[in-house]
Amino acid sequence: MIRLVEAGRGDSAYTQSFLELLDERHPVYSGVGTAAVVRMRGELLLALGHHVLPTAALPFVLEELESPHEAWLTAVAARVLRNHPEPSADFVAPLLSALFYIGQRDDTVRLESYGGYGSIGEPTTAVAEVIRTLGWLGKAGERALPRLHELRAREPGLRTAARLDETIAAIRDGAPTEAPECCGYARRLVDAPRSAPADVTELVLQDQSGELLTFRDFFIGRPSIVVFFYTRCDNPTKCPLTIAKLGRLQQHLHAAGLGDAIRTAAITYDPAYDLPPRLVQYARSWGTSTGEHHRLLRTVGDLAPLGAFFELGVNYGDSGLVNRHRIEAFVLDPAGRIVQVEARQRWEESQLIAAAVASMGQADGRADG
């Protein structure tokens, strides 16, 4: 695959094929180790952004910046973003997230070398690429200035200080730009109800206390907000942050008097490993509440039927461990139908709650739960 991707760099004839290969569910990732997945996705982003980064690739690029974990892949995302035709203020938050989270994991890499650690190309770092891309934003990056001034005041090394000075000047002195009419770049992949497959309704789940229940028992009768995670996830910007945000969402629900009216669930991608004691500990560690209407769940059998229902963006290596997953959250109406999906970039608690509230009282979903 890598030879094909390298041969197709910058060729628009390959754009759709490369975008399809970025889907975590693609068979090309099945049975592959995590490190290899990182290299494959980096090469795909480099190929897509070799000349002009297509807008259709933005969700994947912004995902790598907002949830950074590997220096080379973060550097690749920052570099190719500069090949998008138009800077946007929407890029500020993901770039600042990359700057904040990748600092402790930064490394010297070479973007022209496969995987970043060969001898081909000029050395760079993820932090350096992110700072340069913030400067590329010009006036569109104004919201980043307080954070950049804060970093500059910490007396970083000479090279980083010089880059920060250049970036601050580029933003301050840049020409005004018009904000694009569209924003969000297809973050909502699904926003219309879908019918639940019949075979999911009676699917058996187990919660953090060991109680067995079916999909019908928990998800039919009241609207619900569902996120996915697994306890062996080593990216703090994905699973740990997802569960912490779910805890904050629960607090908002209780403050609004909706703690019993809207259910929440966090379902593991790794049901064979994430047995109830691990689910309990994970909930406690990251501040998520559990109870009758708020549970951490695992499938008792295969995750595949539930994965097909939610169209989960996850794949597994040859050891059965998750090798890649996206951030994803779902809102289900009282009939158990998906009415909204937030994927790749971080979801907003208020938006999920609003969607759940809007789904209340639908005629075919009025069941006691």
pLDDT confidence of residue 188: 41
Give the integer Cα–Cα distance in Å for 367 and 50: 53
In sequence order, the 6+-apart residues with CB closer than 8 A to the CB of 304 are: none
Main-chain dihedrals φ then ψ at residue 217, nearest 5 degrees: -55, -40
Per the DSSP assignment, residues forming a β-bridge with 264 are 225, 294
In sequence order, the 6+-apart residues with CB closer than 8 A to the CB of 281 are: 231
pLDDT confidence of residue 187: 45
Per the DSSP assignment, residues forming a β-bridge with 328 are 343
pLDDT confidence of residue 177: 61
* DSSP reduced 3-state for 123: strand
Give this prediction's pTM.
0.89
Give the integer Cα–Cα distance in Å for 361 and 74: 44
Whether residue 222 contacts residue 262, with contact meaning beta carbons closer than 8 Å, is answered with: yes
| Widest CA span in the chain | 64
Encoded amino acid at 80, one letter: V
pLDDT confidence of residue 68: 95
pLDDT confidence of residue 367: 41
Give the integer Cα–Cα distance in Å for 266 and 279: 9
Cβ-in-10-Å burial (0-12, 13-18, 19+) of 158 comes to exposed
Give the integer Cα–Cα distance in Å for 12 and 23: 18
* DSSP reduced 3-state for 213: strand
Cβ-in-10-Å burial (0-12, 13-18, 19+) of 262 comes to buried
Give the integer Cα–Cα distance in Å for 122 and 141: 26
Give the integer Cα–Cα distance in Å for 86 and 159: 27
Angle at which helix 126-136 crosses helix 71-81, to 10 degrees, equals 20
pLDDT confidence of residue 2: 67
The alpha carbon torsion through 163, 166, 172, 175 (nearest 10 deg) reads -120
Mean pLDDT by 10 residues, the chain (369 residues): 70 88 95 94 94 94 96 97 96 96 92 84 94 97 96 88 95 73 44 54 96 96 97 96 97 96 98 97 96 97 92 94 97 95 94 96 49
